């Protein structure tokens, strides 16, 4: 069973998450850092507006940008620049390439004069670590590496407790020294992964670029990390359908988002083992994959915030997650548990149609 966020544009519901199925098992996040043309569309709504859409394979998923604008040429120019910015940031934040700043940091354990974008993501990551009481933690890379190494052999063996404890000893954002420009790990063999926040950060940067081009109506979707502005057409807000993780084609809710962001974290996408006990979301306190929640959808003012919160809440209890979201202005959430129960924040129903 799967959980997806679908975008509804001009009567069609377009699935932008299927590519996650064919991504390499352990190469989540930025494993596919190239940008490959997939489709393009330009439709004239009426005498005044065009809908221009472009989709590429990047960030290990589909990335689509849809713009509603009076000028087709201006829309295409803005979208083209947005994808160039996407490639630049992907190359910068890619942890799978040892030559990138992030790759060098993980290899050497320290980095001076880090690029401003990387510094921003790390700074925000530390903030969300504190906000979620440690549930969101970018230092879980040793655990991801452990699971990837063990399960990539195809054998039925699982990591033993000693191995998990050894990897856990390297986890904890408090083990990072960071002053905004320079960063150092306090223990050898530590590493960070930005998979739970960088995609949202990049979506926000694309949004800012479109704003600078004076694009007033758009939707950016990077595999379920979504940022919207304005309207889809006829002054109608963008609609996001939240798919039931237990029944394909069933939607617990369809929400309208005019100026905001939505992100979903789910355990149905990438499992390390055939028994589906270990997946790509890991509790930094136990070293294990949480099993209570199946999917978390969060709306927020920015895609980065929604991305980080959906990841952090996934490892909390449903009650803790909803309580946290209820305390944050501008945020709402929908949680679906393993036993198919649904938990909504206090204002989620106001978004649903």
∠ CA 136-142-144 to the nearest 5 degrees? 75
The answer to whether the CB of 288 falls within 8 A of the CB of 280 is: no
Give mean pLDDT, residues 227-234.
Answer: 91
Rounded (10°) CA dihedral 163, 126, 322, 241: -90
Residue 8, pLDDT above cutoff 70: no
Give 127 or 33, the one with higher predicted confidence.
127
As a whole number of Å, the end-to-end CA separation of the chain is 24
Between CA 324 and CA 110 the distance in angstroms is 33
Q: DSSP string spanning 221-275?
A: EETTEEEEESEEETTEEEEEEE--TTSTT--SEEEEESSEEEEEEESSS-BSSTT
Q: Lowest mean pLDDT: which of 70-84, 178-192, 259-273, 294-308? A: 259-273
Average pLDDT, rounded, for the chain:
84
The band of 252, judged by pLDDT with boundaries at 50, 70 and 90, is confident
Side-by-side strand order, sheet with 176-178: 110-111, 183-185, 176-178
Question: What pLDDT is attached to residue 154?
Answer: 62
Residue 174, pLDDT above cutoff 50: yes
Question: Phi then psi for 9, rounded to 5 degrees?
Answer: -130, 120
The band of 18, judged by pLDDT with boundaries at 50, 70 and 90, is very low
Give mean pLDDT, residues 177-200.
Answer: 96
Give 3 or 284, the one with higher predicted confidence.
284
Give mean pLDDT, residues 48-66.
Answer: 90
Q: Residue 75: is it exposed, middle or buried by C-beta count within 10 angstroms (0-12/13-18/19+)?
A: buried
Pairing relation of β-strands 12-15 and 36-44? unpaired
State pLDDT tens for residues 305-351: 999 999 999 999 999 999 999 999 999 999 998 888 999 999 999 99
The domain ranges of the chain are 101-185
Q: Which of 289, 84, 307 is nearest to 204 (CA)?
A: 307
Question: For residue 349, what are the contacts with CB-CB under 8 A and spacing of at least 6?
Answer: none
CATH number of this structure's domain 101-185, picked from the four choices 1.10.3980.10, 3.40.50.740, 2.102.10.10, 3.30.70.360:
1.10.3980.10
């Amino acid at each position: 069973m799967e959980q997806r966020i679908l975008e509804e544009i001009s009567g069609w519901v377009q699935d932008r998450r299927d590519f996650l199925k064919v991504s390499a098992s352990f190469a989540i996040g930025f494993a596919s850092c190239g940008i490959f043309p997939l489709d393009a569309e330009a439709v004239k709504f009426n005498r005044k507006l065009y809908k221009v859409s472009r989709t590429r394979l990047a960030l290990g998923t589909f990335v689509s940008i849809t713009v509603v604008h009076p000028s087709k040429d201006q829309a295409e120019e803005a979208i083209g620049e947005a994808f160039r910015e996407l490639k630049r940031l992907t190359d910068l934040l890619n942890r799978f390439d040892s030559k990138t700043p992030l790759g060098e940091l993980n290899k050497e354990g320290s980095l001076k004069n880090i690029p401003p974008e990387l510094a921003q993501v790390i700074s925000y990551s530390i903030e969300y670590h504190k906000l979620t009481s440690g549930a969101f933690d970018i230092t879980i890379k040793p655990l991801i590496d452990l699971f990837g190494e063990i399960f990539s052999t195809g054998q039925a063996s699982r990591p033993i407790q000693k191995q998990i404890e050894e990897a856990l000893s390297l986890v904890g954002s408090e083990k990072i020294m960071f002053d905004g420009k320079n960063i150092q790990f306090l223990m050898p063999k530590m590493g960070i992964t930005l998979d739970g926040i960088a995609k949202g950060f990049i979506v926000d940067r694309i949004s800012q670029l479109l704003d600078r081009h004076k694009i007033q109506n758009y939707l950016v979707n990077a595999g379920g990390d979504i940022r919207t502005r304005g309207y889809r057409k006829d002054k109608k807000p963008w609609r996001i359908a939240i798919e039931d993780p237990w029944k394909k084609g069933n939607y617990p809710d369809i929400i309208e988002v005019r100026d905001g962001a939505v992100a979903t974290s789910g355990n149905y996408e990438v499992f390390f083992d055939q028994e589906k006990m270990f997946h790509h979301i890991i509790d930094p306190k136990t070293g294990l994959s949480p099993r209570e929640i199946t999917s978390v959808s969060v709306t927020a003012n920015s895609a980065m915030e929604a991305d980080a919160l959906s990841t952090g809440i996934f490892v909390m209890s449903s009650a803790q997650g909803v309580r946290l979201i209820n305390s944050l202005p501008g945020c709402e959430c929908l949680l679906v548990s393993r036993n198919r129960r649904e938990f909504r924040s206090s204002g989620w129903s106001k978004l649903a149609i």
